[in-house]
Chain A
Amino acid sequence: MAFSMQPYGIQSMLKEGHKHLSGLDEAVLKNIDACKQLSTITRTSLGPEGMNKMVINHLDKLFVTNDAATIVNELEVQHPAAKILVLAGKAQQEEIGDGANLTISFAGELLQNAEELIRMGLHPSEIISGYTKAITKTIEVLGELVEEGSETMDVRDKEQVVTRMKAAVASKQHGQEDILCSLIADACIQVCPKNPANFDVDNVRVSKLVGGGLHNCTIVRGMVLKGDAVGSIKLIEKAKVAVFASGVDTSATETKGTVLIHSAEQLENYAKTEEARVEDLIKAVADSGAKVIVSGGPVGEMALHFCERYKLMVLKISSKFELRRFCRTTGTSALLKLSQLKADDLGFIDSISVEEIGGSRVTVVRSEEGGNKIATVLLRGSTDSILDDLERAVDDGVNTYKAMCRDSRMVPGAAATEIELARRLKEFSFKETGLDQYAIAKFAESFEMVPRTLAENAGLNPMDIISKLYEKHASGNAKVGIDLEGGDSEDGFCKDVSTLNIWDLYVTKFFALKFAADAACTVLRVDQIIMAKPAGGPGRREQPAGMDED
């Protein structure tokens, strides 16, 4: 009698292999623990002195980075609660493109403090209500901390852009931020449309080429395409361009066609008419004034022959998106068929040249006078992983630019904002009656994580610094932050950040804190977990952690 022996409770009702966790100890605290573990991993990468992580993903690809978004992405977190944190980090990455580390680390800290509260005897729902009150207050205070005069900015003024971008880039590539920021700012300003709110991240491209060093990095106003030109013409200047979305070849019917030939004469004639057709088409292109043909598909042998004869340069761009970008760069629209051209179908470029950089051939398309729609940051570095990391720093910088185009407000960086928020929130918690105040106080305490981590990562004494920061903030200067290089000066490591010029964007902080608080509350709200048996499948044994993210 197998089923009379079934245990009582939910476990008996579920399919084999299901796991069921419930209650404070089993679900809530375990969840918190998992989230803590995750944030411990990312935390050491926070800030300019953050450590790099070496992550090898399931495809054996190596990542050396301190970008939290990449780390958690490649970690393939399995624990459901920790995954909520990862999702919050990803949401931040998608929304702003920077600050993922702050989101995850802060959420982890919030949960760690929640654990202490739970051990004190508070119910999670009380913590949630306290945290919700605290985040609302935080947002309010954050709005007050915005640096005066930063509401408006000229997004085309390089200096202002660099000021706002520096902290974001510095946290990824410390010590190289000056070079990188100037490059990124140049590229962004160049492609910034008339209405800055429409700035598209896609318009700043990154091209990575192994070799050289950071000092060889340049900006190309236009595009850098990997690969060679098809024909023998490798350099052309100040020319008109025709873009064809389909291939440059003889036209074909959708239905299968067969050439009907009755005699040898016809065979000969057929080849001739074919040739004449192609020549007509290519000639039409050449006559229209175009000197460059860009094809989205294959280029026929015969067409290529005539292109050479009419001195046309031929480029092949097989990616549809790349082709669209090329169209944007040159101000053309891609034509579907090789046919008669109108003058306004043509675009204009300053130069197209095939260059050899660091052993690989690239086609550099420059368009300085024209649309100026696309800029490419040409990154050089000694290894692939360095290049990848540089690329992420550039991406963060570009995303920061996008964020500042929408909302240019900034707040003091280098943990000055966090300390001020902590201070104000603590005051707020004293005014609160009821059990909420404990949760709000803990929320305030969680902000100390940022200066503590910054100090720890830089090898300084965190307690010392935090107390000093509090002292200075209490005396009225809300802009005092950590100066990581200020050991010799009389102020020690605490300095007014407005003199250091370290600023964070208001939106980045806003979203990061909000996502973090949301994620923490979500994790706390869960009191039962029901896990299905992990789906099996081939190859799971080789890579026990290799389950798909989505």
Chain B
Amino acid sequence: MSLRVLNPNAEVLNKSAALHMNINAAKGLQDVLKTNLGPKGTIKMLVGGAGDIKLTKDGNTLLKEMQIQNPTAIMIARTAVAQDDTSGDGTTSTVLFIGELMKQSERYIDEGMHPRVLVDGFEIAKRATLQFLEKFKTPVVMGSEPDKEILKMVARTTLRTKLYEGLADQLTDIVVNAVLGIRKPDEPIDLFMVEIMHMRHKFDVDTRLVEGLVLDHGSRHPDMKRRAENCYILTCNVSLEYEKSEINAGFFYSNAEQREAMVAAERRSVDERVKKIIELKNKVCAVTENNFVVINQKGIDPPSLHLLQQEGIIALRRAKRRNMERLVLACGGEAINSVDDLTPDCLGWAGLVYEHVLGEDKYTFVENVRHPHSCTILIKGPNDHTIAQIKDAVRDGLRAVKNTIEDEAVVLGAGAFEVAARQYLINEVKKSVQGRAQLGVEAFADALLVVPKTLAENAGLDTQDVIIGLTGEHDRGNVVGLNHQTGEPMDPQMEGIFDNYSVKRQIINSGPVIASQLLLVDEVIRAGRNMRKPT
């Protein structure tokens, strides 16, 4: 081989070997992820290098944790991760779709077809499918009062594929309410304003939505109040501790009195800042029974804490930066950077502030705020892997709700879209295409069926029966999806199974692109030094 002449150490795979390597890798990855799809998918257990356990059904998590090395598989995995970045869901479907495209192509290639022709067909089919998607989608009017029911349906569809039913249904409400809570008219939804906090405590079904914030630290003074109602919240980023000067300074003193004076002087500026806060507290809480809470991003040293405690102020130090923004959104008021211009307007308000101690860890709840533009989903679970699993699911659920609000459209789920699109491609598009590209369209159409097929397989149903039942109904003009309990066709609209429009669009967009690239590879060359030990 010519390359061997140029570099004797290079490894090379020629035409058909390269293609088959790609196809095999795609199929292999498909095999791994296949069992994940749908509400009846099974769980994978990932054991990390340190023996830590992770349980997941989420394709994205799995791909991330699996540490894949095969170059083709990495390419596919990256596409799937990109899918997750843009739409937050559909990773498993992407991988399955790519795998199936390759599998279908293999059949034609083995019969002597040139990959280029298939790729042309893919391109035509892709465009047609996207057009069909536009027609097929169910528009949803969002406006200022979004239809909660439809959002719930979308969220439920996503969550049920990640968690078991009972928990998924409970999280559905939480997720929808959280997104609607932080939504502001005419502004894009910022999902970072939903804090996801976890406590290792009780059961997974104790997960709840907190209208306010949960901070994962508590006050550092043993005598501070543990619980306070009707609180003013001062959010600040002011250092309330003695800081060493940056220059290398020292004191000279010649007797103990002088030293005492020095000690007092050192603290004076800090004490003054604390006094200003106390003054404000006295001003706003003078006659009422209201309480005062200081949440500081910087530190508060023990003497300052002591002063604040004496005034009955709850003080939290070293709050996380991201929580500062959320606090302001949740409680109102504004975050201050200096105590010089304190006014009552800077203060936020919360109905209830309390501390919860769980073993060694302390949590502070800021609840019953007036306008929860930021809220917290508090995940509970008996152990870490349950919590991690819920966390991933919640994130996907939030994304699904957000997508729906932004897309203003949903797509019928349970495989209904895939079957309908296939019928459209076979019956209409294929006939309008000239020449051999028809076969590409056909391969694409058949590849679409991987979703209902896999759904059926995971539910322990007979794949062929299911597909025939579904296509039969579609031929009769009924849009149906798969009921995974019975294996019979059913109307997804009645069952409330909706997928995200953007997720589907992304799958159809990215799947064929990567499949085409892989099919068009005709040589794989590994040159350069092999970092792995010779085997």
Contacts and interface: CB of A to CB of B under 8 A. Distances in A.
Q: Which of the listed residues A94, A324, A528 has the most CB atoms from chain B within 10 Å of its own CB?
A: A528
B32 interface: yes
Interface string B267-302: 000000000000000000000000000000000001
Given A81-B45, A277-B260, A256 B251 contact: yes
B222 A324 contact: yes
B31 interface: yes
Contacts of B128: none
Contacts of B257: 273, 277
Interface string B443-468: 00000000000000000100000000
B53 interface: yes
B52 A253 contact: no
B45 A526 contact: yes
B188 interface: no
A293 to B, nearest CB: 19
A277 B202 CA distance: 55
B494 interface: no
Q: Which of the listed residues A15, A252, A529, A530 has the most CB atoms from chain B within 10 Å of its own CB?
A: A530
Contacts of A515: 382
B112 interface: no
A274 B257 CA distance: 8
Nearest to A250: B256
Main secondary structure of the interface of B (DSSP, over half): mixed
A266 B254 contact: yes
Given A257-B250, A259-B254, A277-B256, A531 B47 contact: yes
Contacts of A525: 42-43, 55
Given A15-B69, A327-B222, A518-B382, A1 B13 contact: yes
Contact of A10 (B28, B40, B42, B201): B28
Contacts of B517: none
Nearest to A1: B11
Contacts of A90: 383
Interface stretch (A155-163, A164-172, A466-474, A532-540): A532-540
A528 B55 CA distance: 10
Given A1-B11, A277-B260, A532-B48, A14 B68 contact: yes
Given A8-B28, A518-B203, A522-B55, A2 B11 contact: yes
A524 to B, nearest CB: 9
B303 A91 contact: no
A88 interface: yes
Interface residues of A, number: 75
A526 B40 CA distance: 12
A254 B73 contact: no
Contacts of A88: 382-383
Contacts, number: 197
Contact of B69 (A13, A269, A531, A532): A13
Contact of A535 (B50, B73, B303, B385): B50
B38 to A, nearest CB: 12
B359 A94 contact: yes
Contact of B45 (A3, A337, A530): A530
B66 interface: yes
A529 B43 CA distance: 9
A526 B42 contact: yes
Interface in A363-409: none
Interface in A502-540: 514-515, 518, 522, 525-535
A189 interface: no
Interface in A302-357: 324, 327, 333-334, 336-337
Contact of B223 (A250, A333, A532): A333
Q: Which of the listed residues B31, B68, B259, B460 has the most CB atoms from chain A within 10 Å of its own CB?
A: B259
Contact of B44 (A12, A261, A327, A526): A526
Nearest to A526: B45
A538 to B, nearest CB: 15
Interface residues of B, number: 70
A78 interface: yes
A121 to B, nearest CB: 12
A527 B255 contact: no
A253 B44 contact: no
A255 B69 contact: no
Contact of B47 (A80, A91, A250, A550): A80
Given A526-B55, A532-B49, A4 B13 contact: yes
A541 B450 CA distance: 47
B44 A528 contact: yes
Contacts of A547: 50-51
Interface in B28-85: 28-29, 31-32, 35, 40, 42-53, 55, 62, 65-70, 73
A13 B254 contact: no
A435 to B, nearest CB: 11
A4 B32 contact: no
Contact of A4 (B17, B250, B255, B386): B17
A548 B49 CA distance: 11
A514 B70 CA distance: 42
Nearest to A324: B222
Contact of B21 (A4, A78, A84): A4
A525 B43 CA distance: 6
A13 B42 contact: no
Interface string A238-271: 0000000100001111111111111000100110
B266 A251 contact: no
A336 B47 contact: no
Contact of B53 (A80, A245, A277): A80
A261 B254 CA distance: 6
A95 interface: yes
Nearest to A323: B222
Contact of B262 (A84, A253, A535): A253
Contact of B259 (A253, A337, A527): A253
B255 A255 contact: no
B244 A269 contact: no
A123 interface: yes
B302 A245 contact: yes
Contacts of B17: 4
Given A1-B11, A518-B382, A528-B42, A257 B306 contact: no
A83 interface: yes
Contact of A12 (B12, B28, B255, B385): B28
A336 B306 contact: yes
Interface in A83-102: 83-84, 87-88, 90-91, 94-95
A279 to B, nearest CB: 11
Contact of A123 (B35, B62, B256, B460): B460
B150 to A, nearest CB: 29
A179 interface: no
B231 interface: no
A9 interface: yes
Given A13-B69, A83-B53, A87-B385, 18 more contacts: A8-B28, A14-B66, A14-B69, A15-B67, A94-B359, A252-B263, A254-B244, A270-B254, A274-B255, A522-B386, A526-B55, A528-B35, A530-B44, A530-B62, A530-B66, A532-B46, A533-B49, A534-B49
Interface of A: 1-4, 6, 8-10, 12-16, 18, 27, 78, 80-81, 83-84, 87-88, 90-91, 94-95, 123-125, 245, 250-262, 266, 269-270, 273-274, 276-277, 324, 327, 333-334, 336-337, 514-515, 518, 522, 525-535, 547-550
Interface of B: 11-13, 17, 21, 24-25, 28-29, 31-32, 35, 40, 42-53, 55, 62, 65-70, 73, 200-203, 222-223, 242, 244-245, 249-257, 259-260, 262-263, 266, 302-303, 306, 359, 382-386, 460, 526, 532, 535
30 contacts: A2-B535, A6-B21, A9-B31, A13-B29, A13-B69, A13-B73, A15-B67, A78-B51, A84-B385, A87-B53, A245-B302, A250-B256, A251-B263, A253-B262, A253-B263, A257-B250, A266-B254, A273-B256, A324-B222, A333-B222, A337-B303, A518-B382, A525-B42, A526-B44, A528-B45, A530-B46, A532-B49, A534-B51, A547-B51, A549-B51
